[in-house]
Amino acid sequence: MGYFRKLPNISYPSPLSAKTASGEYIIVKNFFRKTKTLDWLSDSATVFNKFIIADGARPDTVAEEVYGSSELDFVVVLTGKISNINNDWPLSNQQLYDFTVNKYGLANINDVHHYETFEIRDDKNRLILPAGKAVDSSFKINGPGNVWPLNATWTGITANEIIQYAGTAEISPTLSVSNWEHETDKNEEKRELEILRPEYLQVFLEDLQRIMKYTKNSQYINPFLVQTENTTLV
Pick the more confident residue, 205 or 14.
205
Res 70: pLDDT = 94
Res 14: pLDDT = 61
Residues 10-41 as b/e (b if ≥16 CB within 10 A, e otherwise) read bebeeeeeeeeeeeeeeeeebeeeeeeebeeb
109/179 Cα distance (integer angstroms):
6
Whether 233 has a pLDDT exceeding 50, the answer reads no
Mean pLDDT on 135-139: 96
Q: How buried is residue 184: exposed, middle or buried, by Cβ count under 10 Å (0-12/13-18/19+)?
A: middle
DSSP class of residue 72? G
pLDDT band at residue 55, thresholds of 50, 70 and 90? very high
Mean pLDDT on 83-97: 93
Question: Which stretch of DSSP H or E encloses residue 151?
Answer: none
Pick the more confident residue, 5 or 204.
204
Whether 226 has a pLDDT exceeding 50, the answer reads no
Q: What are phi and psi for residue 121, nearest 5 degrees? A: -130, 150
Give the residue among 149, 159, 154 at the shortest CA–CA distance from 129.
154
Whether 16 has a pLDDT exceeding 80, the answer reads no
Q: How many residues does the chain have?
A: 234
124/138 Cα distance (integer angstroms):
27
Whether 177 has a pLDDT exceeding 50, the answer reads yes
What's the mean per-residue pLDDT of the chain?
82
Pick the more confident residue, 90 or 78.
90
* 10 strand-pairing partners: 28, 226
Task: Kindly give the interhelix angle for 93-104 and 179-188, rounded to the nearest 10 degrees.
Answer: 140
Cβ proximity of 173 and 156 under 8 Å = yes
Mean pLDDT on 107-125: 97
Domain spans of the chain, in order of start? 2-90+190-233, 111-180
Pick the more confident residue, 205 or 183.
183
Mean pLDDT on 193-220: 78
